[in-house]
Amino acid sequence: MTPIDPRSHGLWRSTAPAAPPTGPLDGARRADVAIVGGGYTGLSAALHLAEAGVSAIVLEAREIGFGGAGRNVGLINAGMWVMPDDLPGVLGESHGERLLRLLGDGPREVMALIARHGIACELAASGTLHCAVGRDGQAEIALRAEQWQRRGAPVRLLSAAEAAAWTGARGYAGALLDERAGTLQPLAYVRGLATAAIKTGAAIHTGSPVTGCEPRGARWALRTPGGEVEADWVIVASDAYSTGPWAAVRAEQVHLPYFNLATTPLTTDQRRTILPGGQGCWDTKEVLSSFRLDAAGRMVFGSVGALRGTGLPIHRGWARRALARLYPSLAGIGFEHEWYGQIGMTSDALPRLHRFAANVIGTSGYNGRGISPGTVFGRVLAEHVLGRRPEAEMPLPVTPVEPAAWRALREAWYEIGAQAVHLVADRF
């Protein structure tokens, strides 16, 4: 197997509990359901299927949480990037409102799953803060707050003074506090899902990329380098890192690189004023920034960009300058860890539901919000396979897989453009 890049998982790999023992598929197996991908969606589906007494085998090409599940910031968000009122217009009234309810309640479901299975993942159920930059940013969060409040969501606007008190940072015009949300250690969470799924009866094989999938009578035969799984159903949950038979799922998404750097732990005095409530944050800039503390008090600070080539020194330098601007007391603080990954962006910033063939189904395209949507969609897919949720009651319409236009050029532009922005941003 190809070695893991030391900049792929950073802090999360160094602080997560060990993954459950797994290994490559060896020989022929039979199951009710074969699941491709060992991230939030695939492992949530496996867990819920196993709880229903259905045999499920997860085939993961690399390791548990190798993709976005093990690299993200760790924000348990409610909803998507799209404004709540816009969803019915994009998806239709029934699907739009159904998706809003499902994802609005998503963080609560994640937290309940963590409690039920005793997953040690540094859960902090203290909400998130969407921080407004300038007048336009304030208008954006005010509109989002009004639309969620009309639906009964526990969100509220904070003034500039309140935002300063809640974040300890300088310069924000306000913030939107979402009390439904929170933070966790993302790799620890996905490894905990894997442990729970195995204990409940699911099987997980890592180092087992699916190289082929063919019909065999009424069933499906999935090939890996070491063996084969025959199953009645296939759930495709490989998302932005898809290869092999479902490489088209990768081609449907434009990769947006995103990096994080983690500081040394803050002092006790610094933690009294810097994010004292433990919320995770991100801002309204087009090239956004995110920041939060982990359980040990490290500041995890990130933005768009890839830590490779010329991007490595540029993004490091930007992070030092930007962090010092927000928090002067952190000027000169050292970074202990650095890592990055790819966010799969769809054309309308909404996830997809695909039916690839009879009894072959999958969701993808979480657009950087994988923790909550991935977990709840895993359950929804399991319910569909179990016959408990017909297609007409799914939260998304079934759509064909459509390649993203100018994908390679757009991906290069995102990576180079982020470097250009960070080369000059917050320099003085």
pLDDT digits (tens, 9 = 90+) for 211-242: 999 999 999 999 999 999 999 999 999 999 99
Are 5 and 206 within 8 A, CB to CB? no
Check pLDDT > 80 for residue 266: yes
The tens digit of pLDDT for each residue in 303-360 reads 999 999 999 999 999 999 999 999 999 999 999 999 999 999 999 999 999 999 999 9
CB atoms within 10 A of CB 27: 8
| pLDDT > 90: percent of the chain | 95
Mean pLDDT of 278-285: 97
Check pLDDT > 60 for residue 290: yes
Mean pLDDT of 378-402: 97
Give the list of residues 6+ apart from residue 8 with CB closer than 8 angstroms, or none: 66, 70, 71, 339, 340, 341
The pLDDT, as a whole number, for residue 428 is 39
Q: Is 282 helix (H, G, I), strand (E, B) or coil?
A: strand
| Burial class of 179 by CB neighbour count within 10 A (0 to 12, 13 to 18, 19+) | middle
Check pLDDT > 80 for residue 426: no
Check pLDDT > 60 for residue 137: yes
The CATH code that applies to domain 10-72+187-252+349-397 is 3.50.50.60
The pLDDT, as a whole number, for residue 1 is 52
DSSP state of 336: E
Does pTM top 0.95 for this prediction? yes
Mean pLDDT of 82-103: 92
The pLDDT, as a whole number, for residue 170 is 86
Check pLDDT > 90 for residue 120: yes
The tens digit of pLDDT for each residue in 152-192 reads 999 999 999 999 999 999 899 999 999 999 999 999 999 99
The pLDDT, as a whole number, for residue 300 is 98
Sheet holding 298-304, edge to edge: 155-158, 174-178, 128-132, 280-283, 289-293, 298-304, 254-265, 335-345
The pLDDT, as a whole number, for residue 117 is 98
The pLDDT, as a whole number, for residue 324 is 95
Q: What's the rounded Cα separation, in Å, for the pair 249 and 206?
A: 20
Q: CA 57, 59, 65: angle at the middle one, nearest 5? A: 115
The tens digit of pLDDT for each residue in 4-53 reads 687 999 999 999 999 999 999 999 999 999 999 999 999 999 999 999 99
Give the list of residues 6+ apart from residue 320 with CB closer than 8 angstroms, or none: none
Token pair for residue 373? 């949507």
pLDDT, greater one: 6 or 297: 297
Amino acid (1-letter code) at residue 315: H
Are 348 and 90 within 8 A, CB to CB? yes
The confidence band for 3, taking pLDDT boundaries of 50, 70 and 90, is low
